[in-house]
Amino acid sequence: MEQRISLAHGEGGELTHQLIQKVFVQSFGHSKQTQLDSAIFTLPGQTIAVTTDSFVIKPLFFPGGDIGKLSIAGTVNDLAVSGAMPWAITAGFIIEEGFPLQDLKKIAQSMAAEAEKAGVNIIAGDTKVVEKGSADGLFINTTGIGLLQERRKLKPEKNKEGDAVIISGTVGDHGISILSARQELGLMTEVESDCASLTPMIQELMNFVDGIRIMRDPTRGGLATALVELCEDFNFTIEVEEASVPIRNDVKGACDILGFDPLYLANEGKVVVIVDSSHEQIVLDIMKEHSYGKNARVIGHVTSSDDLIGKLLLKTPIGTTRRLQRLSGMLLPRIC
């Protein structure tokens, strides 16, 4: 492992994984006990889920959202995919000296609006300011608390061969949106980020579908990294049909030009659901009722070929199969 922190350590891929394993897990003494996106524990009489996320996205404002909306949606979605009802959120601001107050107000209002949409209260906050040049505009940390109800628990251990892997919509929108907003790469398309709180849709799924094994929001590191982590955490193999993965034409075009693989681009308003195949249709039906789920699709299945346990396989349109790894190295720093 490198002895200095590189930007790639923040990309949500292999190096982030190593950093967490080698530094934080070692120091804090966790291991793999927390396999969901939130820490979950039981109070006498009530089980709650807790998750924390810092947002360092650049630029702060982008088509489809801003850092404020993102900081609520991102944390709320982490709770929701853990099977918890988002309930309360805290917000910590690190602000660079000279930051325009107008922008801060806009961002705070955008947080408030998104929190209302997601049904959470912002219950505590903190503000720090650092000298000009010691931060880049604004960073926000949000920590979310959600309520987990017994009947809503996900059942990852019940996964079996043939389980359907469903994505709620097109992949890579957020990544390309941020890239185009940065105007660094001469992209002409303006792609809107998918940034959104998925609580209403996910709550409906939890209420009406019994056979959900597990959910994950494919943010930093993209769909491929999220699925690799699921395969490793729960020791099953997934085969994804490349041709089935929904990708917008403008996102595909931008990826072709820039040499990015959309499977590794960040999403901020998508969920992957692994579900008993007998329930795949009701999952699709519920997703399609929501604007952010209208392009939902089955993209693959859990397989059980013994020597491939814990691996993510991609079946290409020409019929070959290759193994995908988690994102390695640097793709897009400060995507969230």
Out of 59, 63, 92, 200, the only residue in the binding site for a second copy (CB under 8 A) is 92
The bridge status of strand 237-241 relative to strand 312-315 is parallel
Q: Which amino acid is at 105?
A: K
Residue 219 has which token pair? 């943010």
What is the rounded CA–CA span in Å between residue 57 and residue 134? 16
Q: Are 238 and 245 in contact (CB under 8 A)?
A: no
DSSP-assigned states of every residue in 16-33? HHHHIIIIIIHHHT--SS
Q: Is 236 in the site for a second copy (CB under 8 A)?
A: no
Nearer to a second copy, 121 or 207 (CB): 121
Out of 32, 45, 249, 320, the only residue in the binding site for a second copy (CB under 8 A) is 45
- 171: left (phi > 0), else alpha (psi -120 to 50), else beta? beta
CB of 34 to a second copy, least distance (A): 7
Scanning 117-125, 224-232, 247-255, 289-297 for contacts with a second copy by CB under 8 A, the matching segment is 117-125
Q: Is 35 in the site for a second copy (CB under 8 A)?
A: no
Site string for a second copy, 297-316 (x = CB under 8 A): --------------------
DSSP-assigned states of every residue in 211-269? -EEEEE---TTHHHHHHHHHHHHHT-EEEEEGGGS---HHHHHHHHHHT--GGGS--SS
| Residue count, binding to a second copy (CB under 8 A) | 79
What is the rounded CA–CA span in Å between residue 255 and residue 259? 5
Q: Which amino acid is at 81?
A: V
Q: Is 188 in the site for a second copy (CB under 8 A)?
A: no
CB of 21 to a second copy, least distance (A): 11
Distance between alpha carbon 22 and the CA centroid of its chain, in Å?
23
Q: Binders of a second copy among 145-184, rule CB under 8 A?
A: 145, 147
Q: Binders of a second copy among 46-75, rule CB under 8 A?
A: 46, 48, 50-56
Q: Is the peptide bond before 59 cis (omega within 30 degrees of 0)?
A: yes
Out of 85, 111, 205, 302, the only residue in the binding site for a second copy (CB under 8 A) is 111
CB of 123 to a second copy, least distance (A): 4
Q: Is 119 in the site for a second copy (CB under 8 A)?
A: no
Out of 31, 32, 133, 318, the only residue in the binding site for a second copy (CB under 8 A) is 133
Q: Is 31 in the site for a second copy (CB under 8 A)?
A: no
Out of 35, 130, 188, 235, the only residue in the binding site for a second copy (CB under 8 A) is 130
